[in-house]
Each structure stands twice: as C-alpha cells, then as structure tokens.
Amino acid sequence: MTASAIAAEPRARAGGVRSLWAGNPQAVVQRGLIAARSSNWIVVLSGFFEPVFYLLSMGVGLGALIGDVTTASGLEVSYAAFIAPALLAVSAMNGAVYDSTWNVFFKLNYGKLYEGMLATSLGPLDVALGEILYALLRGLVYASGFMVIMQFAGLNLAWTAILAIPAVLLIAFGFASLGMAITSYMKAFQHMDWINFVMLPMFLFSATFYPLSVYPDWLVPVIQALPLWHGVELIRGLTLGDLSWGMLWHVLYFVVMIAVGLIFTTKRLRALFLD
C-alpha cells in the first residue's frame, strides 16, 4: 500500500478524552442559529402556545368548577395555580424531546449532518452538547414567556418562582440528552412512534392535572418513577413556595438522566462515525 493510500484511509480517533471532546460545542449551536434564520418561526413559536391554551381551557374553565386543590404537602391552592407549573414542566419535556428526537433523527440518518461535523475537529461530545444546548435555548424562550403569563395571572405564589426557569432548563437538559441517546439507536421513522407512546402516558399520569392522592396505591410508585413527575413536583414546589429537602432528589434524578444520556450519545456517535 502506498503512502498516499495510507494517508487517505479513514482512521478512528484516539487519545482518550480529546478524541471525544474538542471544547467547541458552541460551533454546533451557532450552526443551528444560522440555519434557523430561514426556518418558519411561526412553527417554532407554536410550541409556546400549547401550554397557554391548556392553562386557559383547564386552569380557568375547569378550575371554576373544581375550586381549590390540596397539594401533597397539604397546601391549598387554586386549580390554575396547581396545573400551571405542571404545564411548564410538560412544555420543557415536549420541546426538548421533539428537538432531540425528530430533528436529530433526520440529521443523523438523512441529512448526514453529524457525519460531516465529526469529519472536522469536533468530537462526539461536542456534537451532543451542541445539539442539546440549542434545544435548551428554545426551551428557555418558552419557559420565560410562560412564566411572564403566570406572573400576570397571579399564579407565581412565591419569590422562589424565579428559580423555576433554571429548573426548566435542568428538566429540558435531562429529556434532551436521554432523547438524543435513544434516537441514535433508531433506524426508521416508524420507530419514532414509540416516542409518543411513552410521552402521552407520562403527560396524563404524572400528577399533572390531579394530586397524587387520587391515584390508586399500586399506581403511585409507578408515577413517582417517571421523570416528568419529578419535573412537575420540582417546579410546582418552586412556584408555590412549597420547599423541602426532598426536592433535591428531583434535581439528582435529572442530573443522572443528563449523565446517562450524554454517555450513551457520545459512545453511539463515536461507534457510528469514528470507530
């Protein structure tokens, strides 16, 4: 084999951490922002109105019939104040999951975008973090806008509600990293149906619209194992001022989700394009 043939032969990266991380995830974020200039911003903004419509229809309409609701800690609040933080968590989940599944699936299998990125100095961890950070920017816009609506509606009942914004980013980070990891193993668009199959039950059975006490005893441990329930409880506690040390377990839950998602995504991207 000639020297030119050896030089042209693709090689797997080596060098431990440096083979995974070039310290430049902002390049992926910048590429996403540039590409978004030509996209339909009405479609992007439509994701903001979904929780607003749920809040108006159920929080205001149904809330007039239900009245006050008692939380798990015994705090009585209006039904609108009860579901508003849950809808904020759901919005974070939906935005993060759809950005890290459908968009990533197209870029991975049809656009061949990541293959081109990894042909540069970027490592798989740069690509994973860049895509996730770009999804978080979208989630930050949604969360900030919805928090303003909650403030004008008088649904932020404590000063700690401002901490709900970083909590939303933590929740979105967890779902985005895990969603991207799962998507990297999918081979066909039909597999994406499993995403909705999992998300819909989480939306309905995570104490989003009803207190945990209304569910059967055998179902409660299942609900408490769902990631959305941890997000709902975290944001609900912050917006209502219902704080406890147990909220740290919700934070730890999403930290573990982030770590697991990043590890699997990084390994998968390296296996697909570098090894």
The three state secondary structure string of 14-78 is CCHHHHCCCCCCHHHHHHHHHHHCCCCHHHHHHHHHHHHHHHHHHHHHHHHHHCEEECCCCCEEE
Would you say residue 138 has pLDDT above 80?
A: no
Q: In the predicted model, is pLDDT for residue 8 greater than 60?
A: no
More confident residue, 11 or 141: 141
Residue type (1 letter), 116 = G
Where does the pLDDT of residue 271 fall: very low under 50, low under 70, confident under 90, or very high at 90 and above?
A: confident
Question: Which pLDDT band, with edges at 50, 70 and 90, does 275 fall under?
Answer: low
Assign residue 3 a region (left: φ > 0; alpha: ψ between -120 and 50; beta: otherwise).
alpha
Give the lowest-confidence range in 8-17, 61-70, 86-95, 130-139: 8-17
Token pair, residue 165, equals: 């914004």
Q: What mean pLDDT is predicted for residues 8-28? A: 63
Please tell me whether residue 172 adopts helix, strand or coil conformation: helix
pLDDT (tens digit, 9 = 90+) per residue, 250-262? 999 999 999 999 8
Q: Is the pLDDT confidence value at 188 over 90?
A: no
Comparing 48-52, 125-129, 160-164, which segment has the lowest mean pLDDT?
48-52
Higher-scoring residue by pLDDT: 256, 133: 256
Please give the average per-residue pLDDT across 108-128, as a whole number.
82
Query: Average of pLDDT values for 132-143?
Result: 81
Q: Which residues of 127-164 are buried (b: 16+ CB within 10 A; e: fewer)?
A: bbbbbbbbbbebbbebbebbbebbeeeebbbeebbebb
Tokens of 99: 């950005």
Least confident of 37-41, 143-147, 233-237: 37-41
Tokens 């609040």 sit at which residue?
77
At residue 51 the predicted structure's pLDDT band, cuts being 50, 70 and 90, is: confident
- Is the pLDDT score of 44 beyond 60? yes
Minimal CA–CA distance to 131: which of 186, 181, 193, 197? 181
Question: What average pLDDT does range 58-76 have in this prediction?
Answer: 83
Judged against a pLDDT cut of 80, whether residue 35 lies above it is answered with no
CA Rg, the chain, in Å? 21
Angle between helices 79-98 and 193-204 (to 10 degrees): 170
pLDDT value, residue 123: 82
Q: Are 79 and 68 in contact (CB under 8 A)?
A: yes
232 pLDDT exceeds 90? yes
Are 138 and 44 in contact by the 8 Å Cβ rule? The answer is yes
Burial of 272 (0-12, 13-18, 19+ CB in 10 A): middle
pLDDT at 24 over 60: yes
Q: Residues 35, 40, 43, 48: is their CA dihedral positive or negative?
A: positive
Residue type, 9: E
